[in-house]
Amino acid sequence: MKNPTALSRRGFAKLLGAGAAYAALRPALGLSESTPNPTETKTSDVVRLSSNENPYGPSPAALRAMTAAFALAWKYPDETQDDLVDALARLNQVSKEQILPGAGSGEILKVAVAAFTGPDKKLVVGDPTFEAAAGHAKASRAEVVKVKLNATYAHDLPKMLEAPGVGLHYVCNPNNPTASITPKSELSAFLAKVPPETIVLVDEAYHHFVESADYESVIPLVKDHPNLIVARTFSKVYGMAGLRYGYCVAQPDKIELMRAQQSWDSESIMAIVAARASLDDNAQVENGRKNNSVVRKFVCGELDKLKFNYIPSHANFMMIDMRREVKPLIAAFKDKKVQVGRLFPPLPNHLRVTIGTKPQMERFLAVFKELTT
Q: What is the pLDDT of residue 24?
A: 34
Cα dist. 144→147, 169, 170 in Å?
Answer: 10, 10, 11
Question: Are 248 and 102 in contact, with CB atoms under 8 Å apart?
Answer: yes
Does 10 or 356 have the greater pLDDT score?
A: 356
Judged by DSSP in three states, 292 sits in helix
Ordered domains of the chain (ranges, CATH): 72-279 (3.40.640.10), 283-372 (3.90.1150.10)
Q: What is the pLDDT of residue 82?
A: 95
Long-range contacts of 88-97 (CB under 8 A, 24+ apart): 88/247, 88/279, 91/279, 92/219, 92/249, 93/220, 94/219, 94/222, 94/223, 94/249, 95/252, 97/252, 97/255
Q: Is pLDDT at 108 greater than 60 in this prediction?
A: yes
Q: What is the pLDDT of residue 6?
A: 38
- Percentage of the residues of the chain whose pLDDT score is greater than 70: 88
Q: What is the pLDDT of residue 220?
A: 98
Question: Are 49 and 351 in contact, with CB atoms under 8 Å apart?
Answer: no
Cα dist. 344→136, 155, 176, 318 in Å?
Answer: 18, 16, 10, 13
Average of per-residue pLDDT across 275-293: 96
Question: Are 16 and 65 in contact, with CB atoms under 8 Å apart?
Answer: yes
pLDDT tens, position by position, 238-249: 999 999 999 999
H helices within 197-354, ranges in order? 252-259, 269-279, 282-305, 327-335
Among the listed residues 214, 180, 171, the one whose alpha carbon sits nearest the alpha carbon of residue 313:
180
- Percentage of the residues of the chain whose pLDDT score is greater than 90: 86
The band of 44, judged by pLDDT with boundaries at 50, 70 and 90, is low
pLDDT tens, position by position, 207-221: 999 999 999 999 999
Among the listed residues 115, 99, 200, 108, the one whose alpha carbon sits nearest the alpha carbon of residue 157:
200
Average of per-residue pLDDT across 124-144: 97
Average per-residue pLDDT for the chain: 90
pLDDT tens, position by position, 155-206: 999 999 999 999 999 999 999 999 999 999 999 999 999 999 999 999 999 9
